[in-house]
Amino acid sequence: MFSIGDFARFGSVSVRMLRHYDEIGLLPPSEVDPCSGYRFYSAEQLARLNRIVALKELGFTLNQVAELLDGQLSAERLHGMLQLRRAQLANQVVADTARLASVEARLLRIQKEGVMSEQEIIVKPLSATLVAEMSDVAAESGEAAVGPIIERLYARLGKLIPEAGLTITGAPVVYYEELEEGLRVHVAHQVAGTAAPGSSLDLHLLPEIPQAATLVHRGKLAELCVSFEAMGRWADENRYAPNAPIREVYLNAPEDPTSDGWVVELQMPVAPAV
């Protein structure tokens, strides 16, 4: 017979954990001294303890471990539990690999620049969003050609949305569609409600994005290209493949286009590079 301390050392677990296993009926001691209350374990119980430790390392809960050890699971359910655990571990490996790539990219950036970047890029899902949208074609890209179109369409949306009986529920969104000649500029407003009959507004859902790299640009609008370039470098360094279109969400839009008070979240759809 082994004392609880010796048994814990043999099984590479803590005495506290053995007491917990006893309390939940997973591994009661072979004997308990009626006077002192000391717990004693037999050598045969070490095999059960080893199985408990092994199943816990696979990620099973103690309730599942009890079912497995006591034969309360059918082969079909056991197979399903193992398949689920395999999928969870595979997803964890993918997530950990992405985190490792992010750490390596940040280390490389610090080595190159000697400072920590002030621009944080976060990967997150974006849900589908109902928007009222208008668009027009710019002859070329660049603030000089695109800026006036955005201002004009944004002003028209601000007037037509309430006239149509809709409610603005979020910040305006801008995205671009490359054409054979020129660039189609889409300006949208997040809305709620049903448009009145005869409304000229185009209502549709901006699609869900499972993974979007997002960066909040703060400063002059003319410097937005610097943030776009930062996102491109981040995608290369973190082994992501960027997709189009990239959305611009205008969280703060001063009347003065030269103001340094602009706040724009860039949302770039991404997927792990193959």
Residue 186 CA: distances (Å) to CA of 129, 152, 153, 189? 15, 12, 9, 10
pLDDT in tens, 202-218: 888 999 999 999 999 98
| Of the options 1.10.3720.10, 3.30.390.30, 3.20.80.10, 1.10.760.10, the CATH number for the domain spanning 124-272 | 3.20.80.10
Q: Which fold has domain 2-69?
A: Multidrug-efflux Transporter Regulator; Chain: A; Domain 2 (1.10.1660)
CA 34 to chain centroid, in Å, comes to: 55
The answer to whether 274 touches 241, Cβ cutoff 8 Å, is yes
Other CB atoms within 10 A of residue 81 CB: 17
User: pLDDT higher for 4 or 79?
Assistant: 4
pLDDT in tens, 100-129: 766 776 676 666 665 545 568 888 999 999
Report pLDDT for 153. Answer: 93
pLDDT in tens, 135-173: 999 988 877 888 899 999 999 998 999 999 999 998 999
The answer to whether 184 touches 126, Cβ cutoff 8 Å, is no
- Rounded to whole angstroms, the Cα distance separating 255 from 262 reads 10
Report pLDDT for 116. Answer: 47
Report pLDDT for 230. Answer: 85
Average pLDDT over residues 265-269: 94
pLDDT in tens, 41-83: 888 888 888 888 888 888 888 888 888 887 766 777 777 878 8
Residue 99, pLDDT > 80, answer: no
Average pLDDT over residues 221-245: 86
Residue 192, token pair as written in the block = 């709620």
Strand order in the sheet with 31-32: 2-3, 39-41, 31-32
Please, what is the average pLDDT of the chain?
Answer: 85
The answer to whether 219 touches 247, Cβ cutoff 8 Å, is no
User: pLDDT higher for 158 or 200?
Assistant: 158
Of 120, 95, 153, nearest to 234 by C-alpha is 120
Domain parsing of the chain, residue ranges: 2-69, 76-117, 124-272
* C-alpha torsion sign, points 63, 69, 70, 75: positive
Q: How confident is the model at residue 7 (pLDDT cuts 50, 70, 90)?
A: confident
Burial (CB count within 10 angstroms: exposed 0-12, middle 13-18, buried 19+), residue 18: buried
The answer to whether 173 touches 190, Cβ cutoff 8 Å, is yes
- Rounded to whole angstroms, the Cα distance separating 64 from 73 reads 9
